């Protein structure tokens, strides 16, 4: 109370005089700076500053870091940087660098990586290997089918009863990860790998979207790019699906590990291929 | 049965496909990244105060680190080596941001950085929030209040003015003086 310290805090006309005079410009410049920080955006360069001014700006950064939640990396940033680092490591070996230059990703190399996103990407790439020609094309609104007639085999992935109308069920096999959907017109299946870089999507039942953990890609339940996706990535390829004997079957690439487990498909009941 | 076969879990699949490689680039990256992302990001954020620059600089640090991971062998720990990489990255950034001379930059870098950067002794990095609390304790009431309103509670100028019974112009002056004082205290390592 009334101490010298307190007077020092009060705003008096004396502050505008003397060798250490503060100017209104300085107040406003720092204020603009703080507001930029509060928006989490890069502030304007303050220009040539004295070290005292630099320390003032530093103090602003330090205190901004104390705003609750501000100084935590966002999950999207964390996973996208991890993906970049995976590529960085991959590029250090010539063979992998070559693959990277061609736009492909080494499944084995990424599997060896063992990180979550990389592992996810790797399984996606197993899918990707069958759709390489499509991923090279620019994003479009058309939707391709993963495996054409005759090239694959039918595999049972769910019973009809376990997926209610509107429900979505994930399935994973040696060759493919995908989702089976129960729509008003029957059962459909979609590839579960993001068409951006092959990371594995997860079903977001609340928003009814397929979300990618790597770069925030989003697809609606029909597999088309959804609002909120950073880029309108190509639609998810369809996987042929059918219902037979109370079971949902999907048509996937033949696994190299088995031979003739293909199921006869002479009765494609409920099978739709839009 | 085929039906059961199709239900192979993702994990099983990973295990089946994963070759028992002796090469453990991945483990090193795991340690490098997973264990240190948060602490390095927080450190960098406390130097720039915004997400855009923090993400950019954090990416630079980890990419540099991955490219030069072999040079980490001599370091006391991966983490202290990462902090060194972060420090030089921030210094480069500041050089262009503040247009300061080198020795002034050194002053700035020392803040919150205890102990020598020599090999052997890992530097002690004080968590940003501890520094903030230490500074707040030393500030006069007005200064402390305005910084608490503006930063810890993230209030606007208007809200702060209402809370403190000041004009908005006064709040702008007060936050300037408070940060100036805070910067001085931080330098003194109080």
Lowest mean pLDDT among A160-164, B11-15, B162-166, B174-178: B11-15
Same domain, B87 and B109: yes
Same domain, B95 and B52: yes
Q: Is the pLDDT of residue A26 over 50?
A: yes
Give A147's pLDDT tier (boundaries 50, 70, 90). Answer: low
Same domain, B104 and B163: no
Same domain, B135 and B81: no
The Cα–Cα gap between A118 and A139 comes to 23
3-state secondary structure chain B: CHHHHHCCCHHHHHHHHCCCCCCCHHHHHHHHHHCCHHHHHHHHHHHHCCHHHHHHHHHHHHHHHHHCHHHHHHCCCHHHHHHHHHHHHHHHHHHHHHCCCHHHHHHHHHCCEECCCCCCCCCEECCHHHHHHHHHHHCCHHHHHHHHHHHHCCCCHHHHHHHHCCCHHHHHHHHHHHHHHHHHHHHHCC
Contact B176 A113 (CB under 8 A): no
Can you give the pLDDT at residue B21?
44
Contact A41 B52 (CB under 8 A): yes
Choose, out of A26, A71, A76, the residue to mutate when testing the contact with B (most B CBs < 10 Å). Answer: A71
> What residues in A contact B112, CB-CB < 8 Å?
62
> What are the tens digits of pLDDT across the range B72-92?
666 667 788 888 889 889 988
3-state SS, residue A244: strand
Q: Is the pLDDT of residue A181 over 80?
A: yes
Query: How many domains does chain B contain in total?
Result: 2
- Domains of chain A by start residue, with CATH: 25-69 (no CATH), 75-135 (no CATH), 152-253 (2.102.10.10)
ipTM above 0.85, yes or no: no
Would you give the distance in Å from CA A192 to the centre of its chain? 13
Same domain, B54 and B119: yes
Q: Is A59 on the interface with B (CB under 8 A)?
A: yes
> What are the tens digits of pLDDT across the range B63-72?
998 888 776 6
% of chain A surpassing 70 pLDDT? 62
Q: Is the pLDDT of residue A100 over 60?
A: no
Question: Residue A262 burial by CB count (10 A; 0-12/13-18/19+): exposed, middle or buried?
Answer: middle
Question: What separation in angstroms does the CA of B75 have from each of A183, A225, B69, B79, B115?
Answer: 58, 46, 11, 9, 15
Choose, out of A3, A28, A63, the residue to mutate when testing the contact with B (most B CBs < 10 Å). Answer: A63
> What residues in A contact B98, CB-CB < 8 Å?
45-46, 49, 54, 57
Nearest to A30 among B19, B97, B176 (CB): B176
Nearest to B62 among A56, A85, A122 (CB): A85
> What residues in B contact A177, CB-CB < 8 Å?
10
> What residues in A contact B147, CB-CB < 8 Å?
63
Can you give the pLDDT at residue A1?
40
Give A260's pLDDT tier (boundaries 50, 70, 90). Answer: very low
Q: Which structural domain, as residue segments, surrounds residue B160?
A: 129-188
Can you give the pLDDT at residue A273?
40
Same domain, B98 and B47: yes
Which of the pair, B152 or A6, is modelled with greater confidence?
A: B152
Choose, out of A59, A85, A262, the residue to mutate when testing the contact with B (most B CBs < 10 Å). Answer: A59
Which of the pair, A238 or A107, is modelled with greater confidence?
A: A238
The Cα–Cα gap between B2 and A55 comes to 68
Average pLDDT over residues B143-166: 96
> What are the tens digits of pLDDT across the range B4-23?
444 433 334 444 444 444 44
The Cα–Cα gap between B146 and B157 comes to 10
The CATH number of the domain where B155 resides is what? 1.10.10.10
Average pLDDT over residues B147-163: 95
Q: Is A220 on the interface with B (CB under 8 A)?
A: no
Can you give the pLDDT at residue A126?
35
Average pLDDT over residues A252-260: 54
* Residue A65 φ/ψ, nearest 5 degrees: -65, -20
Contact B50 A34 (CB under 8 A): no
């Amino acid at each position: 109370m009334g101490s010298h310290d307190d007077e020092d805090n009060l705003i008096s006309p004396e502050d505008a005089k003397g060798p250490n005079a503060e100017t209104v410009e300085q107040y406003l410049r720092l204020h603009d700076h703080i507001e930029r920080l509060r928006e989490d955006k890069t502030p304007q360069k303050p220009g040539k500053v004295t070290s005292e001014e630099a320390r003032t700006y530093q103090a602003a950064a330090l205190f901004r870091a104390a705003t609750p939640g501000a100084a935590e990396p966002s999950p999207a940033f964390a996973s996208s940087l991890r993906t970049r680092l995976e590529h960085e490591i991959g590029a250090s070996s010539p063979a992998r660098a070559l693959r990277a230059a061609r736009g492909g990703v080494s499944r084995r190399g990424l599997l060896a990586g063992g990180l979550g996103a990389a592992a996810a990407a790797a399984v996606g790439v197993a899918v990707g290997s069958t759709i390489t020609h499509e991923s090279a094309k620019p994003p479009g609104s058309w939707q391709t089918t993963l495996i054409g007639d005759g090239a694959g085999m039918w595999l049972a992935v769910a019973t009809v009863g376990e997926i209610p109308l509107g429900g979505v069920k994930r399935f994973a096999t040696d060759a493919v990860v995908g989702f089976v959907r129960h729509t008003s017109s029957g059962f459909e299946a979609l590839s579960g790998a993001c068409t951006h870089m092959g990371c594995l999507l997860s079903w977001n039942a609340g928003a009814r979207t397929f979300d990618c953990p790597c770069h925030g890609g989003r697809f609606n339940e029909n597999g088309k790019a959804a609002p909120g996706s950073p880029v309108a990535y190509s639609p998810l390829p369809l996987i042929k699906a059918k219902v037979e004997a109370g079971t949902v079957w999907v048509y996937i690439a033949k696994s190299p590990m088995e031979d003739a487990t293909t199921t006869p498909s002479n009765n494609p009941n409920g099978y739709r291929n839009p | 049965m085929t039906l059961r076969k199709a239900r192979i879990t993702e994990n099983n699949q990973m295990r089946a496909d994963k070759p028992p490689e002796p090469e453990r680039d991945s483990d090193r990256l795991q340690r490098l990244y997973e264990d240190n992302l948060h602490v390095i990001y927080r450190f960098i954020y406390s130097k720039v105060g915004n997400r855009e620059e923090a993400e950019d600089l954090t990416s630079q640090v980890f990419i540099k680190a991955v490219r030069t991971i072999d040079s980490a062998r001599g370091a006391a720990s991966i983490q202290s080596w990462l902090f060194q990489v972060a420090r030089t990255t921030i210094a480069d950034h500041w050089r262009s941001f503040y247009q300061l001379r080198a020795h002034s930059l050194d002053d700035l870098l020392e803040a919150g950085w205890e102990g020598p950067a020599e090999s052997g002794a890992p530097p002690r990095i004080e968590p940003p929030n501890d520094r903030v609390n230490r500074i707040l304790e030393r500030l006069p009431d007005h200064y402390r209040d305005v910084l608490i309103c503006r930063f810890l509670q993230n209030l606007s100028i208007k809200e702060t003015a209402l809370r403190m019974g000041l004009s908005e112009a006064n709040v702008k002056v007060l936050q300037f003086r408070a940060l100036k004082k805070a910067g001085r205290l931080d330098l003194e390592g109080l």
